[in-house]
């Protein structure tokens, strides 16, 4: 499942590229990384669950709910916190959700209906079993999957709003990345992959007023998967504290 990825695009730059409103707070406005909405740090070559990440949503203006919804860049915690959760950090991290069953799960059901998002990334990591180590345990070989043409990826996700009870703290925005059956050569690394959302499907996927067509939850077409480069990388990525472009360099 997708538990690590790399992203190097700045929120303001992405907003300009896709004609979106950048709602990610500036660094001086949000210096506490434990804040519910700190600015997503850029570039990050080793994004891990609970990190604050950049997402794309489509929402109406809070001042005019009858206006046309706009694309918005928002910072969210990677690891969805359901609205009914008593506190953050208890229970599973929920950084992934199976696309096939998300609508049936209490943690994701409401988000499937009206809170769908995109998670931008340059590529993602997966591991496969390698030779046995000195203790007889299989090693894990990391691989990095990224578009061959150097373009970015936008993965289908779900998001949620959690409000702490009995305090004046701001609401926490959080998200999860949908996964699906791996396609084509990607199956050689892992049987699951994040659900890539092509640009032509963005309007239907992000529409806040209507459910997404069921076919958007299906695995991506094979030509899309075949355009993904599979690159073995160094075990540096195994430690979250390691972070730099050397993590995505081929072995």
Cβ contact 47:63 at 8 Å: no
Report the C-alpha gap between 219 and 225 in whole angstroms.
9
> Can 246 be counted among the known catalytic residues?
no
- The one catalytic residue in 2, 26, 87, 249 is 2
Contacts of 134 by beta carbon, 8 Å cutoff, 6+ apart: none
DSSP string for residues in 123-190: EEEEEEEEEE-TTSPEEEEEEEEEETT---EEEEEEEEEE--TTS-PPPEEEEEEEEEE--GGGGGT-
Is the alpha carbon torsion for 129, 3, 11, 64 positive or negative?
positive
Cβ contact 22:62 at 8 Å: no
- The one catalytic residue in 100, 126, 175, 246 is 126
> Can 126 be counted among the known catalytic residues?
yes
SS3 category, 15: helix
Q: Mind telling me the catalytic residues?
A: 2, 126
């Amino acid at each position: 499942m997708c538990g690590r990825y790399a992203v190097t695009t700045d929120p303001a730059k992405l907003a300009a590229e896709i004609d979106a409103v950048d709602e990610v707070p500036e660094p001086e406005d949000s210096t506490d990384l434990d804040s519910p909405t700190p600015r997503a740090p850029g570039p990050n070559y080793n994004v891990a669950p609970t990190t604050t990440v950049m997402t794309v949503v489509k929402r109406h203006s809070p001042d005019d709910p009858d206006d046309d919804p706009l694309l918005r860049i928002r910072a969210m915690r990677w690891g969805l916190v359901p609205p009914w959760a008593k506190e953050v950090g208890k229970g599973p991290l929920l950084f992934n959700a199976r696309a096939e069953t998300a609508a049936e799960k209490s943690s994701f059901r409401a988000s499937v209906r009206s809170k769908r998002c995109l998670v931008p990334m340059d590529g993602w990591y997966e591991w496969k079993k390698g030779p046995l180590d000195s203790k007889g345990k299989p090693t894990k070989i990391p691989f990095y999957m990224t578009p061959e043409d150097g373009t970015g990826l936008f993965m289908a996700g779900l998001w949620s709003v959690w409000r702490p009870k009995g305090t004046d703290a701001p609401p926490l925005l959080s998200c999860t990345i949908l996964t699906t059956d791996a396609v084509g050569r990607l199956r050689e690394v892992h049987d699951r992959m994040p659900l890539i959302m092509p640009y032509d499907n963005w309007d239907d996927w992000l529409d806040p007023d209507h459910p997404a067509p069921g076919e958007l939850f299906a695995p991506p077409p094979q030509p899309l998967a075949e355009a993904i480069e599979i690159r073995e990388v160094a075990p540096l990525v195994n430690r979250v504290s390691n972070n730099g472009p050397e993590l995505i360099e081929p072995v």
